[in-house]
Amino acid sequence: MLDSLKVTVLAEDSVPYESPLLGQHGVSFWLEAERHGHVRRILVDVGQNPDALFFNIEHLGIPLKETDAIVITHCHYDHTRGLAKILNAIGKKDLPVIAHPSLFRLNFISEPFFRHVGVMQGDEADDLRKAGAELVLTGDPLQLMPGLSTTGEVPRVTDFEEVGISLSTVTENVAVEKDLMKDDIALTARIRGLGAVVVTGCSHAGIINILRHSLREDEKLEAVIGGLHLVEASEERIRKTAAALEEFSPSLVAAGHCTGFRAQWTMHGAFREKFALMSSGTVFQFRAQKQEGEGTQ
């Protein structure tokens, strides 16, 4: 397990009052995970405006060139745009970029008109490799270090969760079909004596599906951080999501980006002081707690 985890929100749809930072529609996180004195720095998603991201990174003092790996939670442009430019700024060779194998597919909406919303030109696989990426594309969970891993592809088991937006793709047989966003992944960090922290980009797989897939039996959920994509959800789905999330008894629910005001309001009502908003520059810190019977060293 990890000894500590620090999650810094680099990009988000909102900024705090009187903040000098920039907001953008999208999300990006900087994770600093420590275990036995070893620190790994993980960039999770990159938003859609690299210039705004670089601005925030500079003001927050983030050592971008020390990035050890990048995790992309799903294909959408507001999580992937400018990735090649960011890789060039990091300046490393063979930097792991971890994502689902279907990341680079065509992904589009048809309302109010046809528009591709997946990975954009300039950030496709060859572009990323030329910029220094070593693409690690897998549908399985992947351990980044002991205590920190991706979820891999998330099974859909609840009867009330859905992608949250009407999306389509083109299959290998060139047929148009509904896109179920199977590439939606999250990260799970386990902090010694504290519990699991789940960091999610948009939760297109459904946050309850993600938690049921990620958590071990009887494992304590310390925190959920990220977008829950309930912005266009029905009141019924929002209520069911909040009720199901309450069953996990998290110590923190930090929901932003695509969560939507109605869902944030409901979550605040359910969790009160355990609920927090995300904004550019928000920091969440988790440290290991001494377990019963554990002495000092």
Q: What is the pLDDT of residues 61-82, one digit of tens each?
A: 999 999 999 999 999 999 999 9
Q: Is the pLDDT of residue 234 over 70?
A: yes
Tell me the C-alpha distance between 21 and 176, whole Å. Answer: 41
pLDDT score at 289: 87
Confirm if 96 and 136 have CB atoms less than 8 A apart. yes
- Of 184, 87, 171, 178, nearest to 129 by C-alpha is 87
Q: Is the pLDDT of residue 268 over 60?
A: yes
Long-range contacts of 233-239 (CB under 8 A, 24+ apart): 233/164, 233/260, 233/262, 233/263, 235/262, 236/160, 237/160, 237/161, 237/162, 238/262, 238/263, 238/266, 239/266
Q: Is the pLDDT of residue 149 over 90?
A: yes
Residue type at 74? H
CA 138 to chain centre: 16
pLDDT score at 172: 87
pLDDT score at 296: 40
Residue 202 confidence class, pLDDT cut points 50, 70, 90: very high
Tell me the C-alpha distance between 31 and 67, whole Å. Answer: 10
The pTM is what?
A: 0.96
Residue 294 confidence class, pLDDT cut points 50, 70, 90: low
Locate the domains of the chain by residue range.
4-284
Tell me the C-alpha distance between 247 and 113, whole Å. Answer: 40
Q: Domain 4-284: what homologous superfamily? A: Ribonuclease Z/Hydroxyacylglutathione hydrolase-like (3.60.15.10)
pLDDT score at 297: 38
- Radius of gyration over every alpha carbon of the chain, rounded to an integer in angstroms: 18
Sign of CA dihedral 137, 141, 142, 148: positive
Q: How far is CA 166 from CA 65, 174, 231, 233, 287, in A?
A: 37, 19, 13, 12, 39
pLDDT score at 103: 98
pLDDT score at 283: 98
Q: What percent of the chain has pLDDT over 90?
A: 96
Question: What average pLDDT does the segment 105-124 reach?
Answer: 97
DSSP-based three-state secondary structure for 140: coil
Tell me the C-alpha distance between 38 and 291, whole Å. Answer: 21
Q: Report residue 283 as tokens.
A: 């920091």
Residue 88 confidence class, pLDDT cut points 50, 70, 90: very high
Confirm if 45 and 97 have CB atoms less than 8 A apart. no
Question: What average pLDDT does the segment 26-37 reach?
Answer: 98
> Residue 94: left if φ>0, alpha if ψ -120 to 50, beta else—which one?
left
DSSP letter at 243 equals H
